[in-house]
């Protein structure tokens, strides 16, 4: 499995913050790559979730004693909460893991930021950069020299052609296509199936 820049030791157990749908996807990604998943943290789910325990509420991720010997990944679909919790974990001294499915194709030299996830059959091209706390979903393509800011959500089947720039916290709906060299503004929302042929969102 590819290793992201700044990734903790691959033997470090990973705690997934969020036990909902995306949390279960991240657990599958990590386990498919041979990573040890310690369990989940969640404020609303008491657990277990499948074979994995719920180890407590979100706040445990900020406890230095609980952080010791563990890495974390925030698996919440809500971008604001995902980024805020990820930043809080870093500020409190925690370590963020990255989840990259072994079937994903990540070019040599591509950058995947801390706390991001790359799902099955996704492609990250040569020279591409994916920021922190991003979600690149199943079979999405982030082609050569694309740059994604922190917290970007890329839904299944999205196609970002070469050199696309996506601002922080933007959302690209399922199957959207962005033509080469264009820019998507921070926090913009591109509807599913849209073909973007001009800069989008006021950039």
162-194 confidence digits (pLDDT tens): 999 999 999 999 999 999 999 999 999 999 999
User: Is 132 a member of any domain?
Assistant: no
CA distance 64 to 5: 23
Number of domains in the chain: 1
Residue of higher predicted confidence among 45 and 196? 196
What is the number of alpha carbons within 13 Å of residue 137 lying toward its C-beta? 18
Q: Is the pLDDT of residue 64 over 90?
A: yes
Domain of 47, in residue numbers = 14-98
User: Is 61 a member of any domain?
Assistant: yes
User: Is 190 a member of any domain?
Assistant: no
Residue of higher predicted confidence among 5 and 130? 130
For position 9, what pLDDT does the model report? 75
User: Is 44 a member of any domain?
Assistant: yes
User: Distance of CA 191 to CAs 27, 50, 75, 177, Å?
Assistant: 27, 33, 22, 10
Q: What's the rounded mean pLDDT across residues 141-167?
A: 99
pLDDT (tens digit per residue) in 3-59: 554 567 788 999 999 999 999 999 999 999 999 999 999 999 987 999 999 999 999
User: Is 56 a member of any domain?
Assistant: yes
For position 2, what pLDDT does the model report? 55
- Report the CATH number at residue 55: 3.40.50.20
User: Is 88 a member of any domain?
Assistant: yes
User: Is 30 a member of any domain?
Assistant: yes
């Amino acid at each position: 499995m590819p290793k992201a820049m700044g990734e903790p030791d691959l033997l470090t157990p990973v705690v997934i913050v969020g036990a909902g749908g995306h949390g279960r996807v991240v657990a599958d990604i990590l386990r498919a790559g041979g990573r040890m998943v310690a369990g989940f943290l969640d404020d609303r789910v008491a657990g277990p979730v499948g074979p994995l325990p719920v180890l407590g509420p979100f706040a445990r991720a900020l406890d230095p004693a609980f952080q010791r010997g563990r890495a974390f990944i925030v698996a919440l679909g809500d971008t604001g909460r995902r980024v805020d919790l990820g930043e809080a974990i870093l500020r409190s001294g925690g370590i963020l893991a990255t989840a990259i499915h072994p079937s994903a194709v990540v070019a040599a030299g591509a950058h995947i930021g801390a706390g991001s996830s790359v799902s099955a059959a996704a492609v990250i091209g040569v020279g591409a950069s994916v920021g922190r706390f991003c979600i690149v979903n199943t079979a999405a393509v982030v082609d050569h020299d694309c740059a994604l800011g922190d917290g970007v959500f890329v839904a299944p089947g999205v196609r970002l052609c070469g050199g696309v720039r996506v601002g922080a916290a933007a959302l690209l709906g399922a199957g959207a296509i962005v033509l080469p060299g264009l820019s998507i503004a921070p926090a913009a929302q591109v509807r599913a199936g849209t073909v973007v042929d001009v800069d989008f969102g006021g950039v």
